[in-house]
Each structure stands twice: as C-alpha cells, then as structure tokens.
C-alpha cells in the first residue's frame, strides 16, 4: 500500500476539504494549476495509473470549458468587450476569471478523486465513526449506499442486453428517450429491492436498537498522519508563496 493509502481517511478528508475551501477564494489561473499538478502527483503516488487520471480529467475538462465561455460572455466586467462575434461579446477579464474557476474546479475534482482512489470505503466509515464522532446509525447506511454504486454500471449493462434480447430497438429520438426512461425505472426498482433487503437484514440484527457497537477493523491515528498534515500544510503554503512571488496570486480579498 502507498503512503497515502495508509493514512487515516478522516485526516485525508480534512486535508482535501481544507485545501478545497482555500482554493475557493483564489481567482487567478496559475495558482489552481499548481494545485492541480500537486493533485495529479498525489494520485500517481497513490497508485492511480496515468490512463485512469486522463480518463478522469476528460469530463472535468469538458465541464471546465463551460465555465470558461460562460464567464467570458456573461461575466460582468469593467471596460469594453475584447472580442465580438455577431451578437456575442466576450471580455478578456471574464475569460481569465472563467479560466481560473475552471482550473480550480478541475484541481478540486482531482484531489477528491485521489482521495477516493486511495481510501477503502469501510476504513472511511469506521474512521469517521471513531475519530469524527459520526453516529454509526448514519455511517453504516452511508457505507451500504456507497457500495451500491459499483453495481449500477453492471446492472445497467444487463438491462440493456435483456431489452436487446427481447427485440426492443429504439427508433428516433422519442424512442431512445422512451427506452432510457424504461431502463431508469428498471434500475430504480432493482435498487429499491436491494435497499429493502439490506434494511431488513440490519433490522433483524437489531441495528437501530443498539447503543454501542464493536468493530472488526480498528483505524488508528499515528505519527505519520500528523506528518501528513504538516507536510500538506507546508506544500500548500509553499505553492501559495511561489504564486505570490511570481506575481500571479489573486484572491477574493484583493
């Protein structure tokens, strides 16, 4: 296991949330680029492959393009428009602001994915219960719901194959929309049955009536977790200092 994978999930979650909240106040493009590079390096160090990272960056980049053009066209900025294409007027200040928001969102998304890739769901729930004092009546249902997600892709593929075997062929946009609604209803009904079975199993074990629980796994805090927090804080301050020395750092506070 990598260094990141061995760290306490609650500590990692706190670090990711802290850096993400800090980036919300940054409005220049370069600073988020530095944190994006740090997030990619963390994902690689955590064991994620380069192909996995690139596939994750693709939808994040598509979403970022929307932030760029919408701010370039619609953001309220001082001065005249820099570009005019027919009825569309874009400004350079809006473009820079949109680019900063887009890169910031991609950086936060990549840090979140690095956290997910290096964290076991069961360890996360146990850590939140033991260290963040999350009630186990909330933690374990969250774990059950989280474990639903990998099944949806397989079940969706099975539903589509079953409909093809029965000869269901969508024709035209209306037919594809009707087919999508049918597939969604099938997935929702299957998820409801699965959730009902889990709820009955938990109730049969007196889950709601228990006041205390013992745990098969123990997630302990160690000096390496403290070192991880100190190192993350030092790297964050270092990147902010580097951006300030370059003259690029800009925040909402001026």
Where do the structural domains in the chain lie, given as residue ranges? 9-119+221-246, 125-204
Confidence (pLDDT) at 73: 67
pTM for the full model? 0.76
Mean pLDDT by 10 residues, the chain (254 residues): 86 94 89 92 88 88 80 59 60 77 90 90 85 80 73 76 72 72 80 81 73 72 90 94 89 76
Confidence (pLDDT) at 202: 76
On whether the CB atoms of residues 26 and 32 are closer than 8 A, the answer is yes
Confidence (pLDDT) at 83: 59
């Amino acid at each position: 296991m990598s260094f990141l994978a061995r760290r306490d999930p609650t500590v990692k979650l706190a670090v990711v949330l802290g850096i993400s909240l800090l980036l919300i106040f940054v409005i220049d493009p370069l600073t988020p680029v530095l944190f994006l590079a740090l997030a990619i390096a963390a994902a690689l160090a955590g064991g994620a492959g380069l192909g996995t990272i690139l596939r994750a960056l693709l939808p994040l980049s598509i979403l970022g393009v929307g932030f760029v053009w919408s701010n370039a066209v619609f953001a309220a900025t001082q001065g005249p428009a820099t570009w005019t294409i027919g009825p569309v007027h874009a400004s350079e200040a809006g473009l820079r602001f949109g680019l900063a928001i887009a890169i910031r969102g991609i950086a936060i998304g990549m840090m979140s994915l690095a956290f997910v890739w290096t964290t076991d769901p069961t360890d996360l729930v146990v850590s939140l219960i033991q260290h963040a004092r999350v009630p186990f009546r909330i933690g374990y249902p969250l774990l059950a719901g989280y474990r639903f997600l990998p099944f949806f892709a397989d079940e969706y593929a099975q539903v589509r194959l079953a409909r093809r075997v029965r000869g269901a062929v969508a024709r035209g946009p209306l037919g594809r929309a009707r087919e999508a609604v049918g597939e969604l209803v099938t997935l929702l009904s299957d998820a409801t049955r699965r959730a009902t079975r889990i709820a009955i199993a938990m109730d049969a074990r007196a889950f709601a009536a228990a006041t205390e629980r013992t745990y098969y796994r123990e997630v302990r805090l160690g000096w390496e977790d403290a070192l991880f927090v100190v190192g993350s804080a030092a790297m964050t301050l270092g990147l902010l200092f580097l951006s300030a020395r370059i003259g690029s750092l800009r925040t909402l506070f001026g």
